Structure 1
Amino acid sequence: MILNKQVTVILGVFILLAGCGKQLVQSPAENDFNVDAELNYCVKQTSKALAQIPDNGLIPRNIAPNASQWRMVDYTDWTSGFWPGELWYLFEATADSKWKKVADKYTEYLKPLSVSPATDHDLGFQVFSSYGNGYRLTKDTEYKSVLLKTADTLATLFNPKVGTILSWPRDVPNMEWPQHNTIMDNMINLELLFWASKNGGSKQLYDMAVSHAAVTMNNHFRPDYTSYHAVVYDKETGKKIKGVTHQGYSDSSMWARGQAWAIYGYTMVYRETNDPKFLDFAHKVTRVYLDRLPKDLIPYWDFDDPAIPKSPRDASAAAVVASALLELAVYTTDNNLANEYNEKALGMLKELSANYQSKNHNSALLLHSTGHKPAGSEIDYSIIYADYYYIEALLRYKKIAQGQKPLITYKLN
Structure 2
Amino acid sequence: MIKLNPHLSPANLLPAIDRLFELSGEKILNLEHSWDPAHGTPVFTVQGRYTSRGWTEWTQGFQYGASLLQFDVTGEQRFLELGRSATVQRMASHVSHVGVHDHGFNNVSTYGNLHRLMREGKIPDNGWEKNFYELALKLSGAIQASRWTDLGKEEGYIYSFNGPHSLFADTIRSLRVLAVAHQLGHVLMAEKDVRISLLQRLLQHAETTARYNVYYGDGRDAYDIRGRVAHESIFNLNDGSYRCPNSQQGYSPFTTWTRGLAWILCGYAEQLEFLNTLPDIDLAPYGGKQKILDAFRTVAEAVADFYIEHTPTDGIPYWDTGAPGLEKLGDHLNRPADPFNEYEPVDSSAAVIAAQGLIRLGQYLKGTDRGTLYLQAGLTVAGTAFGDTYLSADPKHQGLLLHTVYHRPNGWDHVPPGKKIPMGESCMWGDYHARELALMIRRLAKNEPYYKFFIT
Q: Please tell me the TM-score bracket, short chain as reference.
A: 0.7 to 0.9
Q: Which runs of 5+ in 2 are unaligned?
A: 120-129, 188-195, 218-225, 277-292, 330-342, 414-421
TM norm structure 2:
0.77
Q: After TM superposition, give the deviation of residue 160 of structure 1 in Å.
A: 2.6
Structure 2 CA distance for aligned equivalents of residues 185 and 29 of structure 1: 27
- Alignment of 1:391 with 2:435, yes or no, is yes
Partner of 1:154: 144
Partner of 2:319: 301
CA deviation profile, 1:214-263 (whole Å, cap 9, x unmatched): 11111112322211110011224321111111111111101110110110
Q: Give the AA of the match of 2:110.
A: S
- Alignment of 1:31 with 2:12, yes or no, is yes
The 8 Å contact of residues 213 and 269 in structure 1, kept in 2 or not, is answered as no
Go from structure 1 to structure 2 and tell me whether the alpha carbon gap of 1:33 and 1:91 turns closer, same or farther (over 3 Å shift).
closer
Match of 1:144 among 131, 134, 147: 134
TM norm structure 1:
0.85
Go from structure 1 to structure 2 and tell me whether the alpha carbon gap of 1:300 and 1:107 turns closer, same or farther (over 3 Å shift).
same
Q: After TM superposition, give the deviation of residue 183 of structure 1 in Å.
A: 0.7
Q: Give runs of aligned pairs for residues 76-225 of structure 1, distance below 5 A.
A: 77-108=57-88, 109-116=90-97, 118-138=98-118, 140-161=130-151, 162-170=155-163, 180-202=165-187, 204-222=197-215, 223=217, 224-225=226-227
CA deviation profile, 1:124-173 (whole Å, cap 9, x unmatched): 21111121112211362212111111112112211232511111254xxx
Which secondary structure state, in structure 1, belongs to the residue aligned with residue 240 of structure 2?
coil
Match of 1:256 among 255, 258, 266: 258
Match of 1:61 among 34, 38, 43: 43
Structure 1 CA distance for aligned equivalents of residues 262 and 173 of structure 2: 10
Q: Give the AA of the match of 2:133.
A: Y
The 8 Å contact of residues 59 and 106 in structure 1, kept in 2 or not, is answered as no
Go from structure 1 to structure 2 and tell me whether the alpha carbon gap of 1:96 and 1:27 turns closer, same or farther (over 3 Å shift).
closer
The 8 Å contact of residues 48 and 426 in structure 2, kept in 1 or not, is answered as no
Partner of 1:362: 397
Q: After TM superposition, give the deviation of residue 406 of structure 1 in Å.
A: 3.4
Which secondary structure state, in structure 2, belongs to the residue aligned with residue 370 of structure 1?
coil
Which secondary structure state, in structure 1, belongs to the residue aligned with residue 382 of structure 2?
helix
Partner of 1:322: 355
Structure 2 CA distance for aligned equivalents of residues 29 and 68 of structure 1: 30
Partner of 2:279: none
The 8 Å contact of residues 132 and 412 in structure 1, kept in 2 or not, is answered as no
Structure 2 CA distance for aligned equivalents of residues 237 and 277 of structure 1: 26
Structure 1 CA distance for aligned equivalents of residues 85 and 51 of structure 2: 19
Structure 1 CA distance for aligned equivalents of residues 325 and 95 of structure 2: 43
The 8 Å contact of residues 260 and 320 in structure 1, kept in 2 or not, is answered as yes
Partner of 1:279: 297
| Corresponding pairs, count | 378
Partner of 1:19: none
Which secondary structure state, in structure 2, belongs to the residue aligned with residue 372 of structure 1?
coil
Root-mean-square deviation (Å): 2.4
CA deviation profile, 1:352-380 (whole Å, cap 9, x unmatched): 22211122250211111111100111343
Structure 1 CA distance for aligned equivalents of residues 230 and 175 of structure 2: 18
Structure 1 CA distance for aligned equivalents of residues 49 and 9 of structure 2: 44
Go from structure 1 to structure 2 and tell me whether the alpha carbon gap of 1:317 and 1:38 turns closer, same or farther (over 3 Å shift).
same
Which secondary structure state, in structure 1, belongs to the residue aligned with residue 166 of structure 2?
strand
Structure 2 CA distance for aligned equivalents of residues 232 and 75 of structure 1: 20
Q: Which runs of 5+ in 1 are unaligned?
A: 1-10, 13-25, 171-178
